[in-house]
Each structure stands twice: as structure tokens, then as C-alpha cells.
A and B are shown apart, each in its own frame.
Chain A
Amino acid sequence: MDVKKIHELFGKELKVINLGLASFAENLRKEKVHVLHMDWRPPAGGNKRLISLLDKLDQR
């Protein structure tokens, strides 16, 4: 098992991208963590058929 990337994480300053609950980003900021909160919404307006099509395109 290669754990080099995990050690890079342990050795560096934590920098977070947050998707979902905004309060998680607010709390990390209080702990002086550099965090970027995304304006996340269900993809393709939540249309499941369209999402699965997008995923197929993504894999190509």
C-alpha cells in the first residue's frame, strides 16, 4: 500500500473544498483552516436520466 499521498496531507497545511453543509466550512474557518465553500446544487436539475448520461460522457 502506497501511503505517500496521505503523508503529503499530514505534512502540509490542510486546505479544504467543502460541498454541502455550509456550517462545516464556517467551523473550519474558525479553526483557521483555508476552506472554499462551493455553491453546490443537484447536477442536471436533479434529473437522474440526465445525470447518468453526463456520467457516461465523463468516463470517456
Chain B
Amino acid sequence: MKKVLVRKNAYYDSVFLMLAAKAVKRLPGIQEAAVVMGTDVNLELLKGIGFFSGETALPKPNDLVIAIEGDPPEAVEEACRIAEETLKKKRERAGEDQEYQPVSLDGALKILPEANLVVISVPGPYAAREARRALKKGLHVMLFSDHVSVEDEVDLKERASEKGLLMMGPDCGTAIINGKPICFANVVRRGGIGLVAASGSGLQEVTCCIDRMEGGISQALGTGGRDLQDPRVRGRMMLLGIEALKHDPETRVIVVLSKPPAEESAAAVLSRLEETGKPCVVQFLGRKPLERRGAVWFSGNLEETAAMAVALSRGETPSPPFRSLSEEELSRTAETEAANMSRSQRYVRGLFAGGTLALETMFLFEQEGFKIRSNMAKGPGQALQSPHRSEGHTLLDLGDDVFTLGRPHPMIDPSLREERIAQEAADSETALLILDVVLGYGAHEDPCGSLAESIGKAKALVAARGGYLSVVASITGTEKDFQNRTEQKKKLESAGCLVMPSNTQAALLAVHIMKKAAQRWM
């Protein structure tokens, strides 16, 4: 039985909707459940699974649609009721701290005239419009939404630059302004290191590493991933961010982070950094570190970026390469991990929630001569036939649209990754799983508790076949994050997972283990 409920003018945000859908999908007798707004894209998807066939009056983008398929009919009725109730409860909880929610920016500014930042996470097609309105009012903008065109991005950043306003994003997931974590961000100590990053999980990882090394953050600005990567955007926000940190008296060291940048944008950023007169550390992922240029240093990986910045903030001279574990220690652990693997276990499988963390791992493996297949691959021969099936050494960014369409991001909901852990464990060629866990605001409340169970099952399955599944992870987070890094680490370790102090270290250990595994059968 199929049932559709449409509630006119009942708007809910995507996190609410996905949580309601998830609650309903788990109910007995339910085969298909969608809880969505009536946008064109969603209606097409629903038609694809047999809803709204031949109907003339279709829902509008402001209408809530609950579409359920299952048996018996009572189960479907019950599921509809639960979906509505979940949404209602969530909304009541969200609104309990605030009596009145204005419907327009003008209305909001009447209530909070001293507002200085607008955080926008509305659906992509409406996002640029809202950002433009906020800039017009002279407000700094953090635009979390993705699916904003590059033309809109250039236009927004030009407007912002003219007015001297921050236009962080689109697709900017994280920032720390005046010590306050915004969207997906960690609670870190304040200090003299300022960051501008065109990489969300990279910014989170580096700020957390700095915190662990007892350094502190003045400001951490996000630009959105395309700022340096797309030559049309020309690093506009990165350049403005550097200029702001140059004149900020609290910032003593400037860190710049990006996924592989466009050539001209990278050159412009480097010359701007040289002009700051402050010590700077640059991490362009996937690029070999250059020789130091005056006060501008180049790091080899994310963890080293943090170590160099902390040294510089203390007035010390950085001495790369930085390693928190010696070659000998890595080698010894690798030996033990590889000792009980069976002959068929030949490949690494990486399941990442953070795009930059996945990319760093891929580059570190490639530097060591491994041929990696990935959904992040740009070159021919590296792409997977299907992202849903691993081949050889495979590293996946599970936050990619191909995995998250209609599902929550793996940082919010571990279930996507848990399913894939089971899938990889069932493959007799899997030798090692490498994972990242990102804590902090925005992320799941107990990611390691949930993952530990899946890891335990995966290890047991491989052991029953006579092999040994090695699992290596890193946790991007701090003791002050509400999930607490130490507590989370204990949970992973109790499942037999090796938890490394950083993503870089996890990748290096994984490389060592895979080399040892290969040597055993030579």
C-alpha cells in the first residue's frame, strides 16, 4: 500500500526531514519512506518510485510531503503518524529558546539591529539570493549551502570585496570567529594562529591538531572549496581573509589551507602572504612542499601544518618533517597488525566523512607508490566503475553527493558508513579499513559508539574466515567538544581499532601496514 500526505505551507529544514524519514524507515512493514519538501527534484524522485503517477495537482516547494509504502495498511498509517509527530516535536524543541521567529531579514534586523553575521543554510537554489540580500545590508555572510553556481559565487564575492565584507562560501561548512565555532566546528583554545581555509575538514583537523599541541586560534575563516580551485573565483575570499589577518593584532601566524589550487590563484595567494610580513604556513594538498620563501613556510601534510604554525607562534623555527611516532614505532605496530592477515587480504579500503581527510590519505598512499581508486579521482585509470563497489585499493569520500543524495552526511549519521564497513568486511580481499571521525558541533552525538559496534562485527566476520582485519582511525576533535575526544577514542579502541593522533598519522600507519602485508607473501 502507498500513501501520500501533503501538508500545505509547512516548511521544515533538511536535517529535520531526514531525521523523520530515518525514524519511519526503521518501522516494521515499511518498504519505502520519503519525508521531503515538494520541490521539483523531490517530486521527480518520488515519481521514480511510483508516487504521484497521473496526478494533476502536485505539491509546491513550501508543502511538506510524506510518502510511505508498506504493508499492512495499518503500518503505513502508523508510519505517517510517527513522521508528523517527529517533525512536530523537533520543531517545538528548536523553538523553545526563541518565542518569535521573524520571516524576513528586515524583520530580523529590527529585533537584532547589531547583528554582524548571517549564517545561511537554505536549499541551494535560494541561497545566493539570501546571501545577496545580507551583503546589501552590510552584513558578513557564512554560506553553508551548496549547489550554488560559480557565477553566483563570483558575483557574491565581488560584491563582498567591494564592501570589505566576509563572504565565506558557498559550501563553507566551518569557521571559528572570535572563538565561537560556527556550523561544523570544534571547541579549541584561543591564541595567535589565524587560518584561512578552502577546505572544511582540513580546517577542522588543523585547528584540532593546533589545540592538541597547545597552540591557539585567533580566527579561522572558511572560503568554500572552489575559492582557489576554480580559476574563475580567483581566490577572492582567500585574499581578503589574508589581508584581514595581516592587520589583525591578535594574529601572529597565518595558515593557509587548500585542496589542489588553480595555478594563478596559488601564485596570487603566495605573493599576498609574502606581503603580510608575518610568519605564514601554506598547505596546498597534493603539492610537494616548496622551499621556504622568506617568512612563508610550506608544510608536507595537515599535521605538519599545525606543528609548524605552533612552533612559529612561539617564536621557534619549525623543523620539518614532523612525526609524532617514529618510523620504528610505526614499523613495529605494522608488523603486529599484518601478522595474522590471510593471503587473500591485499587491499586498503578507506571510508571517509571528511573530503580533505580522504584526499590527504590518498596523496600519502600515492606518494608511497600505491595505485588508489577513488570517487575523488580526477585522472583516468583511477576512477571506480561504481562508487558503490570497491576495486583494489579504494579510498572513498562518503560525503560526496553520489552517496548523500536523500541521505544525511556521514558526519551527521554514521549509518551510511556502517553499511559500507559491513560490505568491505564481506570482501575477502579487504586487509585494512581506514576511517576518520569528525567531532564537534554539527556532528553526530556519539559517532565512535556507533562505529565501534560495526567495527567489532566486521573484525569478527574476517576472523571467522581465518583472517585479520586491521582498522586504523583518527579523530578530529578536542577534549572540549561535547562528544569528548578521549571518551570517543576509548570506544574505538575497545573495538580493536588503532586510533592515531591525526589523520596524517593514521594514513602513515596504514601505509606501513599495507607494505608489511604485501611483504609477507612475497
List 4 other contacts, CB 8 Å, given A39-B101, A43-B129.
Answer: A3-B240, A14-B116, A38-B104, A40-B11
Alpha-carbon gap, A5 to B164, bound state (A): 6
Contacts of B109 in A (CB 8 A): 17
Q: At the interface, yes or no: B457 with Cβ under 8 Å from chain A? A: no
Sort A-B residue pairs by CB-CB distance and give the 6 closest, nearest first.
A46-B61, A20-B121, A39-B101, A22-B94, A2-B164, A6-B244
Alpha-carbon gap, A33 to B219, bound state (A): 16
Residues of A within 8 A of B (CB): 1-10, 12-31, 33-34, 36-43, 45-47, 51, 55, 58
Alpha-carbon gap, A31 to B122, bound state (A): 22
| B411-455 interface (Cβ within 8 A of A) | 441-442
Contacts of A51 in B (CB 8 A): 126, 129
Contacts of B9 in A (CB 8 A): 41, 45
Contact between chains at B178 and A10 (CB < 8 Å)? yes
Task: Give the residue name and chain of the B residue nearest to A32 (CB).
Answer: B180
Contacts of B45 in A (CB 8 A): none
Task: Give the bracket for the number of chain B residues in contact with chain A.
Answer: 35 or more
Q: At the interface, yes or no: B71 with Cβ under 8 Å from chain A? A: no
Contact between chains at B177 and A14 (CB < 8 Å)? yes
- 10 A-B interface contacts by CB (under 8 A): A3-B164, A6-B165, A6-B166, A14-B180, A20-B13, A24-B182, A27-B441, A28-B119, A38-B105, A41-B9
Task: Give the residue name and chain of the B residue nearest to A8 (CB).
Answer: B116
Alpha-carbon gap, A26 to B357, bound state (A): 27
Contacts of B62 in A (CB 8 A): 41-42, 45-46
Contact between chains at B240 and A18 (CB < 8 Å)? no
Contacts of A20 in B (CB 8 A): 13, 119-122, 144-145
Q: Mark B159-188, 1 if CB is under 8 A from A, else 0.
A: 001011110000000000110111100010
Contacts of B102 in A (CB 8 A): 36, 38-39
Task: Give the residue name and chain of the A residue nearest to B139 (CB).
Answer: A17
Contact between chains at A15 and B11 (CB < 8 Å)? no
| Nearest CB in chain A: distance from B135 CB, A | 11
Alpha-carbon gap, A19 to B120, bound state (A): 5
| Nearest CB in chain B: distance from A14 CB, A | 5
Residues of B within 8 A of A (CB): 9, 11, 13-16, 37, 39, 60-62, 91, 94-95, 97-98, 101-105, 107-109, 111-112, 114-123, 126, 129-130, 133-134, 138-140, 144-145, 161, 163-166, 177-178, 180-183, 187, 219, 239-240, 243-244, 247-248, 250, 441-442, 482
Contact between chains at B219 and A40 (CB < 8 Å)? no
| Nearest CB in chain B: distance from A47 CB, A | 8
Contacts of A22 in B (CB 8 A): 13, 15-16, 91, 94-95
Contact between chains at B180 and A42 (CB < 8 Å)? no
Contacts of A23 in B (CB 8 A): 15, 94, 442
Alpha-carbon gap, A20 to B118, bound state (A): 11
Alpha-carbon gap, A2 to B119, bound state (A): 22
Task: Give the residue name and chain of the A residue nearest to B94 (CB).
Answer: A22
Contacts of B163 in A (CB 8 A): 5
Partner of A1, one of B118, B164, B482: B164
Given contacts A20-B13, A42-B62, A46-B62, contact A15 B121 (CB under 8 A): no
| Nearest CB in chain A: distance from B48 CB, A | 20
Alpha-carbon gap, A55 to B126, bound state (A): 12
Contacts of B181 in A (CB 8 A): 27, 31
Task: Give the residue name and chain of the B residue nearest to A33 (CB).
Answer: B180
Task: Give the residue name and chain of the A residue nearest to B100 (CB).
Answer: A39
Contact between chains at A38 and B182 (CB < 8 Å)? no
Alpha-carbon gap, A6 to B243, bound state (A): 10
Alpha-carbon gap, A5 to B219, bound state (A): 15
Contact between chains at B116 and A37 (CB < 8 Å)? no
Contact between chains at A9 and B166 (CB < 8 Å)? yes
Contact between chains at A15 and B117 (CB < 8 Å)? yes
Contact between chains at A21 and B115 (CB < 8 Å)? no
Contacts of B442 in A (CB 8 A): 23-24, 27
Alpha-carbon gap, A22 to B178, bound state (A): 21
Task: Give the residue name and chain of the B residue nearest to A51 (CB).
Answer: B129
Partner of B144, one of A21, A30, A58: A21
Given contacts A3-B244, A51-B129, contact A38 B94 (CB under 8 A): no
Alpha-carbon gap, A37 to B144, bound state (A): 15
| Nearest CB in chain B: distance from A21 CB, A | 4
Partner of A40, one of B37, B103, B183, B441: B103
Alpha-carbon gap, A34 to B109, bound state (A): 13
| Nearest CB in chain A: distance from B166 CB, A | 6
Contact between chains at A9 and B140 (CB < 8 Å)? yes
Contacts of B37 in A (CB 8 A): 42
Most chain B CB within 10 A, of A19, A30, A47, is at A19
Alpha-carbon gap, A36 to B102, bound state (A): 8
Task: Give the residue name and chain of the B residue nearest to A1 (CB).
Answer: B243
Task: Give the residue name and chain of the B residue nearest to A58 (CB).
Answer: B133
Partner of A41, one of B11, B107, B144, B187: B11
Most chain B CB within 10 A, of A8, A22, A31, is at A22
